[in-house]
Amino acid sequence: MTHSGATALEQLKRIVGADHVLTAAPDVEPFVVDARGRYRGAARAVVQPGSTAEVSDVVRACSEASLPLVPQGGNTGMCGGATPDARGDAIVLSLARMRAIRGVDRANATITVEAGATLAAVQDAARAADLLFPLSLASEGSCTIGGNLSTNAGGTAVLRYGNARDLVLGVEVVLADGRVWDGLRALRKDNTGYDLKQLFIGSEGTLGIVTAAVLELFAAPNARVTALAALADVAHAVELLHAMKQALGDRLAGFELISARALHLSRKHHPGSPDPLPGHPWYTLLQVDDTAVDPPLADAVETALAHAAERDIIADATIAQSREQAARLWALRENISEAQRREGQNIKHDIALPISAIAQFVAQTEAAVIDAFPGARVIVFGHLGDGNLHYNVAAADGADARQFVANTPAVNRIVHDRVVAAGGSISAEHGIGQLKRDELAHYKSAVELDLMRRIKSALDPRGLLNPGKVL
Ligand SMILES: Cc1cc2nc3c(=O)[nH]c(=O)nc-3n(C[C@H](O)[C@H](O)[C@H](O)COP(=O)(O)OP(=O)(O)OC[C@H]3O[C@@H](n4cnc5c(N)ncnc54)[C@H](O)[C@@H]3O)c2cc1C
């Protein structure tokens, strides 16, 4: 290590305490490998500040020593955004110690939290105040609010409540030079110029370090109905989405699409999972929430599904009769990612399309993929209500998964070309990180890339914040 590097480490230890600067290889290891085990980097140290003032001092010290900083929350991100590169000169800045719930304002329906608070802890704190923080991801026990904001996370309730971006009223950010921007406003209306907080949301740690946020809370639902419907194809699923929106309005909180293949994998790797509507090619999982108890929500959902059946939109449906049954239906959906991990590597796409373009996209893209890679298995599921599909391509049954993923660039081109031609996006909710950096450069217009680069160089002129990510 260089003399200046060693001096910087001593200074970081003085700022956060020696116990909170990790340098031994086994201590650093969990912070330099991503959740999916796809990226492995190296770091000079992992630094764990305990307050915004400490983050500010750490960033200033790193800036003075020209050390790159990689912010990290729960390290559950899907695109390698929180993993440093292999050079080994970066400092991983872990926000995990900053997990205070600074306060709940019931009358204003807001909660102020530190960036390292897990999503589940924030949901719990809202629930304790009889309110709802609606962001919901399968990783909620480990992912953090800082990570959720920095990736503009989506999840299963976007249809009703929006993405992370839509749930934020204010942020506190440490800038690349160490200054703190206190933008912790708890206002639903604030038209005082540029909406700076939105710059940091979804920027994956490349523009600043989010240290705290004011989040919007909602009335907690008093009634919840979960149902699974079986359908002939994606066009019918889109029709059902429209019919359910018409019938239930904004009580429709989640509308997930699951292909038979995705369901099969989920059940295969989670023995004991139910199979309530066997033998159909497509399924949708619906969640409907209401704050009112009367009239009974289940009746409204049943009537809406019965109408859909009469019009031949759905082939069959089942409504969960208890919380436990609802949880088991949701587990079918939430276990898909883990099931795929156990099944072996595959080529993942997290895409967004106009909902009206989805049925044609699915039909045409699968044909093109199989034409190029005979026997390849296309596994489709996702948040249909938001136009967001997880479109994953796996090796043919029995074929070598590792060898197959070497085809990633060719498969990406087939899938992403069609996404972009249909007016879609190559990243709906997982971000860019290092995984899709080259794809972003391939598909974004020169004008858009230029604007992004100018923003980056205005806020981080020396390029020390999460280098090599996004741009
Ligand atoms: C089983 C599973 C299911 C998932 N389901 C979903 C889903 O449905 N929808 C969805 O959107 N995502 C999902 N994810 C992905 C992931 O959980 C989200 O991207 C989450 O928001 C990441 O939070 P994190 O705290 O783990 O962030 P990390 O992985 O630690 O970091 C993610 C990015 O944010 C940056 N960052 C982290 N904290 C800060 C900070 N305080 N300031 C600045 N930058 C920061 C990092 O540098 C990195 O670029 C899932 C992941 C898993 C493992």
Residues 305 and 314 sit within 8 Å (Cβ to Cβ): yes
Q: What pLDDT, on the 0 to 100 scale, is given for residue 263? A: 98
Among protein residues, the one whose CA lies closest to atom 36 of ligand 1: 147
Residues forming a β-bridge with 174: 180, 209
Q: Which atom of ligand 1 is nearest to the CA of 118?
A: 25
| Model confidence pLDDT, tens digit, residues 337-372 | 999 989 999 999 999 999 999 999 999 999 999 999
Q: Which residues contact 17 (CB under 8 A, 6 or more apart)?
A: 50
Tokens of 34: 């991503």
Q: What pLDDT, on the 0 to 100 scale, is given for residue 3? A: 63
Residues forming a β-bridge with 230: 283, 316
Q: What pLDDT, on the 0 to 100 scale, is given for residue 2? A: 61
Residues 291 and 250 sit within 8 Å (Cβ to Cβ): no
Q: What pLDDT, on the 0 to 100 scale, is given for residue 294? A: 86
Which residues sit with their C-beta closer than 6 Å to ligand 1?
Answer: 35, 70-78, 81-82, 95, 115, 137-139, 143-144, 146-148, 150-151, 153-155, 204-205, 209-210, 337, 429-430, 433, 466, 469
Q: What pLDDT, on the 0 to 100 scale, is given for residue 1? A: 57
Mean pLDDT score across all residues of the chain:
96
Q: What pLDDT, on the 0 to 100 scale, is given for residue 288? A: 97
Q: Which atom of ligand 1 is nearest to the CA of 34?
A: 29
Question: Which parts of the chain have pLDDT scores under 70?
Answer: 1-5
Cα(148) to ligand 1 centroid in Å equals: 5
